[in-house]
Amino acid sequence: MKKTLILGTLVTLLFIQCGKEKDPFLISNGAIGNLTKDIQVKQVDSIFAQDSIVKLNPIENALGTQGEVEVYDKDGKKLLLLSPSNENDPTAKISNIQVFDERYKTDKGLTLNSTFGDVKANYTISNVRTTIRSIVVFLEETDVYLTIEKVKLPENLRYDPSLEIDATQIPDDATFKYFMIGWDEEEEGKEE
């Protein structure tokens, strides 16, 4: 009797889980929609079968997808730019993703249209790196990193590329130039 009850409960939970459709726009650690960090670039066509895949640097005589690709939805709206760890290897895994569509969001609601104030309210910032024209903000416990143009910063922080910028110096209303996801293969190898 007890085994039957447990088995019935497990079967019910399985049906409930199967009935839930995965959000194709949810960004989580190691995944963005149905795309995971374990997917090889040659598998992108099947993951985005309902969308259009544009190969940016088509490789002559290639047997399938390899190199950087852009993903467009059926209405022609650009969704993502996928960059593999090795452009010449169709078995390479995706290492970087640039998000172009505001429907993609993290479980905490962070999107391309969010502001830095949304970041500070929901995430811990692990690092801020300065480049000539922008800053790159890395978030703890997530694969997401953000680029903010220096024109969004106070004027005294814009012109010195060697100046270290702290997260507290970034205005809450600063918007993102790039909304990126990075999957580091080295970290993956260390976990195994």
Domain count, the chain: 2
pLDDT band at 111 (very low <50, low <70, confident <90, very high): very high
Describe the strand order of the beta sheet including 31-32 as a list of residue ranges: 35-36, 31-32, 26-28, 105-106
Q: What is the pLDDT of residue 41?
A: 87
- For residue 1, being part of any structural domain is answered with no
- For residue 4, being part of any structural domain is answered with no
Q: Residue 142: give the domain boundaries.
A: 108-183
One domain for residues 171 and 127: yes
One domain for residues 46 and 31: yes
pLDDT band at 190 (very low <50, low <70, confident <90, very high): very low
One domain for residues 127 and 76: no
pLDDT in tens, 62-83: 555 567 899 999 999 999 999 9
CA distance 28 to 138: 15
In 3D, which of 68, 29, 9 has the Cα closest to residue 184?
29
CB atoms under 10 Å from CB of 57, counted, come to 10
Chain-wide mean pLDDT for the chain?
A: 85
pLDDT in tens, 86-104: 888 888 899 999 999 999 9
Question: Mean pLDDT over residues 29-40, rounded?
Answer: 93
- For residue 189, being part of any structural domain is answered with no
Spell 171-188 as b/e; 16+ CB within 10 A means b. eeebebbbbbbebeeeee
Find the range with the poorest average confidence among 20-24, 139-143, 158-162: 20-24
pTM: 0.80
Residue with tokens 């939970």: 13
